[in-house]
Chains A and B, each alone.
Chain A
Amino acid sequence: MSVTRTVPNAINQSESTLNKIAVCTLLSFVAVANAFAQEPTISKEPLSERRVSYTMNVTLNPETKTVTGTERLTWRNPDSVPVGELQFHLYLNAFKNERSTFMKESGGAHRGFTAGDEDPWGGVQITRMQIVPDIDADLTPAIPSPGATDLTDRIRFIQPDDGNQDDETVISVMLPRPVQPGETITLDIDFESRMPEIVARTGWKMGESGEPFFMVAQWFPKIGVYEIPGQRYVPEDAERGRWNTHQFHANSEFYADFGTYDVTITTPESFVVGASGRIQDEVIEGGYRTVRYLANDVHDFAWTASPDFLVYEDTWRHVSIRLLLQPVHEGQAQRHFNAAKTALERFDEWVGEYPYTTLTLVDGLGGSNGMEYPTLITCGTYYKLPEWLRGLELVTIHEFGHQYFYGLLASNEFEEAWLDEGMNSYIETRIMDDAYGVGAVIDIAGLQVSDISLQRVAYTKSKASRVRMVQNSWEYPFGDYGTASYSKPSTVMHTLERYLGWETMRRFLRTYYERWRFRHPTTRDLQDVAEDVSGQDLDWFFDQFVYGTATVDYAIDPPLLVSPQSEEGDEVQYRNRVRIVRNGDGIFPQTLLVKFDDGSEEVREWDGEEKWIEFEFLKPARMSEAYIDPDNRILIDTNRLNNRRIRNTLADGSLARMAQLRLASFVHQLLVLLSGLL
């Protein structure tokens, strides 16, 4: 077990096995870790375009649940024309009152979690926004400025998505003078963020010890993405680019530009802090702990603080993994590390190298769990979670996957959520099933459930036909977002993998990563890569199942028709007919396997376009079975049961009999139990 546990405030509380091997483990990875001692990425050179740069100095007040501080933001105009307006996300205002768009969409609850009754609201307030003159910024040249210009009064709230005037999650600031092409502007922003009681993703919650836990995310004024002509869906020939900002919604929350974050955080001394990026230094003075983190080539920054965290450390190649665990989950550290390493290894092999040198796993409270931020993810487990139920592993692998599909391949979650949630769910299912086998999610007493089968059922047994994968996230009817962004894309991509073959799919994944990492890919970009790599026109696939609502359901139309046709000598010839019908509006090429009583087999291919087709086999044996998609390649087929048919005279009642008899025994047991109560 290569895990180090460190205890907050250097109090040696434990004699656990984890600690006993700490020294050996430390020695073993110190050499590797030194190579990247203070570097947040594997490269000393910028890995991204770095249009933005943040330097923040903030203080957490646990009593008032506030984070106050200053932010120095530098933004470079990437356009070829001057830009006279800046737009920012103030996403913490989603939790400001019940009139925000988030609260209206979510009904005040998110994935089962609701805030408490005792003043749960939060919000961020900008108390000063000022252009900084003569700044020695990272991004040069700086905008020439005659002097400090206060922009505070120029801030106005805008609602680009729904016009909800009560929503204050996006602001626009008109500049006194436009930022010229290629120039940078530096702003000093003073702000106070009042953390809400956790409903979704961010806020505070009292731990079992009575001490507060803070998940500080979506917490600072963050500049939006200015898309230039040719970027994403802005036409190449457009005169100018445009801001792409969205209000904070119940189902989506991420889209920002890559840059650098240099963040200094002060908390009471007793708090353990974890954050995006790599820690640079830590000072304890006057009862306060001040830590400085540097995160490069990321598009967000989040942090957490709690006096209760148990701290464990481990390493995987160049990555220092730090786990902040709730005390109630002590004993599950290794499961977290194993899951993280399982994900790191497979992403490295299948997609590309993890370019950061840190990964922080946070075991949060309440609705903060199961969330992704750059180099920091919240996981989620339960007290005494059994080994056969791999919820911990699933959520850890899924959230780590977002380091790629969201973090590095920074698609616009508001407009194309499937590109991060769906692609990530696809890889998550692949990793889970590859690492843990057919019982990847549940494996107890013969009941084995794999991850992809769960996703497949979630897709095929929901209102699948109504859901398009490419759609603004806030426009989905209630409940459809999950199918559209998780289970459907996961099932669709597995089907594409089986259609193209795993090796082609793997090349596609690697190429997609190499071509689009540290950028903002679209569905069109992803399809282009898939077509380039496979050498095939995949419009038929993407139009139907990604952009469209087509559903696939091919079935053997019963019964199988067998009739004696002629006699040639002593041999009887049988006319065997099987009809395949297309029940859905989706078209997918089909393979038909037909088996005969004499053991022979016939295979037919069909383009699947007609509503039905009949195949006829004149053979000296009767057809015993007809089976479409016998290799189970088309996972988007909404009913697999009707893919196969045997001759009626061969009907097999074994399953029905077994189910009845076992259920009868079970009912018998229940009756005996019940008799104790009556």
Chain B
Amino acid sequence: MSQPFFKHGIETARRRPALAGLLYGMNLIIGLILTVPIYIALSSVTGASGFAANLTNQFDITLWADIMEDAAPAFQALVGQLIWILPVYFLWKVASSVGIIHTLDTSGVRSFWHGVGEYTGKAVLLGLVFLVHLIVLGVGIAIAVVVFGMIWPGEAGVFWIYFVFMPVSFVLGAAVIDMMHDYARMELVIGERPVMESWLSGIRWPFRYGGADTLYVAWFVLAGIILVLPTIIDLNMGGIWLVFLVQQIVLFLRATATVGWFGSEVLFYQTAMAEKEPVLADVEVGLTKSTVG
């Protein structure tokens, strides 16, 4: 039964807007930093061209081809920025995750930044281990694609293998690894376990607790829907600032969902641990032993 944990997650999200704001704000800052060269380049190339207003209303591939040609260095710079932004983002993601877990620990009042300071180093190691999982997943899917391609050659096979099996299996596989990673981090931060023990424990979670799976799927679906909304808004709304504003509201909501997601999982983790060690039980929401089944 995952409903109480889900509700707890919603409640956590509602009570911790600052955390959501932090996650949202960091992503927004990175997004804006990355796109500043684009603004500068487009502004210089199109600002006095007279075509700017036309292009905001209608796509014109010939003009965009001219723009891309004239502003090519800016777009190359964007790619160059990704080289340093990705490792930095990896660090931030790891640090923010352990910080959130630490602060959402229901056994006491804990600081986000304290969690960041204390666990980021270990969590980076843990993250690298799970990166290996992702690589293994990628290699495994690649092998499966080759094998399926031999079994099912031809166009229909190519379609289903490359456009359905490959992305779906990657998303599902990555979701399973993400879930393992979440609980491994909780073992690291709340359980105070070493990195390798946390890793081993984390990878067992999806197979040990059906309730954890259900909870993950519920948040996965909700968060996924929210994440798609900005694209739908982009494609269907006119204007510049209004679209951006609505998108930001949705993206803040998505950050809130992340906080809620962690809130649910932390409570689930602590409840499960409490069942193993009743002395640690958190009775905040009156959960019983059968809850995590």
Contact = CB atoms under 8 A, between A and B. Distances in A.
B58 to A, nearest CB: 8
B27 A678 contact: no
User: Which residue, B49, B60, B89, B258, has most C-beta atoms of chain A within 10 A?
Assistant: B49
B227 interface: yes
A338 interface: no
B161 to A, nearest CB: 11
Interface string B227-248: 1001100110000110110011
Contact of B234 (A382, A384, A650, A665): A665
B31 interface: yes
A457 B65 contact: yes
B31 A668 contact: yes
B170 to A, nearest CB: 10
A432 to B, nearest CB: 14
Interface stretch (B5-13, B150-158, B189-197): B150-158
Interface string B34-75: 111011111101111111110110111111011101100000
Contacts of A44: none
A664 B155 contact: no
B90 interface: yes
Nearest to A655: B52
Given A448-B59, A659-B38, A672 B227 contact: yes
Nearest to B30: A671
Contacts of A646: 48-50
Contact of A460 (B51, B65, B174): B65
Interface stretch (A134-142, A600-608, A637-645): A637-645
Contacts of A677: 134, 174, 178
B122 interface: no
A675 B88 CA distance: 12
Contacts of B39: 653, 656-657, 659-660
B144 interface: no
A664 B34 contact: yes
Interface string A448-460: 1100011011001
A671 B60 contact: no
B105 to A, nearest CB: 21
A144 interface: no
Given A383-B159, A645-B50, A656-B46, A662 B93 contact: no
Given A654-B240, A674-B89, A675-B93, A668 B28 contact: yes
B178 A454 contact: no
User: Which residue, A382, A456, A653, has most C-beta atoms of chain B within 10 A?
Assistant: A653
Contact of B178 (A665, A669, A676): A676
Contact of A655 (B56, B70, B153): B56
B251 A651 contact: no
Contact of A644 (B28, B49, B227): B49
A665 B251 contact: yes
B49 A664 contact: no
Interface residues of A, number: 58
Given A328-B154, A656-B43, A645 B49 contact: yes
A657 B255 CA distance: 24
Given A446-B59, A652-B53, A656-B52, A667 B251 contact: no
A115 to B, nearest CB: 16
B55 A655 contact: yes
A145 B1 CA distance: 99
B200 interface: no
A543 B51 CA distance: 32
A454 B65 CA distance: 10
B174 A676 contact: yes
B202 interface: no
Given A453-B61, A660-B42, A678-B93, A665 B248 contact: yes
B47 A449 contact: no
B99 interface: no
Nearest to A648: B48
Contacts of A647: 48
Contact of A661 (B34, B61, B244): B244
A641 B66 contact: yes
A557 interface: no
B111 to A, nearest CB: 22
A458 to B, nearest CB: 9
Nearest to A560: B48
A558 interface: yes
A558 B32 CA distance: 30
A383 B153 CA distance: 13
A673 interface: yes
B115 interface: no
Contacts of A654: 52-53, 56, 240
A672 B254 contact: yes
A269 B247 CA distance: 63
Interface residues of B, number: 68
A383 B155 contact: yes
B174 A669 contact: no
Given A457-B61, A676-B175, A656 B28 contact: no
Given A665-B247, A669-B227, A640 B63 contact: yes
Contacts of B178: 676-677
B71 to A, nearest CB: 10
Nearest to B155: A383
A579 to B, nearest CB: 15
Contacts of B67: 641
Given A328-B156, A383-B158, A446 B235 contact: yes
Nearest to A383: B155
B127 interface: yes
A208 interface: yes
A287 B42 CA distance: 69
Contacts of B116: none
B254 A664 contact: no
A653 B52 contact: yes
A658 interface: yes
B230 A665 contact: yes
B94 interface: yes
A498 to B, nearest CB: 14
Interface in A183-220: 208
A640 B69 CA distance: 12
A445 interface: yes
Contacts of A663: 31, 34-35, 38
Interface string B90-124: 10011000000000000000000000000000000
Contact of A652 (B36, B47, B61, B70): B47
Contacts of A640: 62-63, 66
Contacts of A461: 65, 69
Nearest to B230: A665
Given A559-B48, A671-B30, A656 B42 contact: yes
B240 A658 contact: yes
Contacts of A659: 35, 38-39, 42
A625 interface: yes
30 contacts: A326-B155, A383-B155, A445-B235, A446-B59, A448-B59, A453-B60, A456-B62, A460-B65, A640-B63, A640-B66, A644-B49, A645-B49, A652-B46, A653-B52, A655-B55, A656-B42, A656-B43, A662-B247, A663-B35, A663-B38, A664-B34, A664-B244, A665-B247, A665-B248, A668-B30, A672-B227, A672-B251, A674-B86, A678-B89, A678-B131
Nearest 7 CB-CB pairings of A with B: A656-B42, A641-B66, A208-B154, A664-B31, A656-B43, A660-B39, A644-B50
Interface of B: 27-28, 30-32, 34-36, 38-43, 45-53, 55-56, 58-63, 65-67, 69-70, 86, 89-90, 93-94, 127, 131, 134, 153-156, 158-159, 174-175, 178, 227, 230-231, 234-235, 240-241, 243-244, 247-248, 251, 254-255, 258
Interface of A: 208, 326, 328, 382-384, 445-449, 453-454, 456-457, 460-461, 558-559, 625, 627, 639-642, 644-648, 650-669, 671-678
Given A326-B155, A671-B31, 13 more contacts: A382-B155, A639-B66, A641-B45, A652-B46, A654-B52, A657-B39, A657-B240, A659-B35, A663-B35, A668-B30, A669-B231, A675-B258, A678-B127
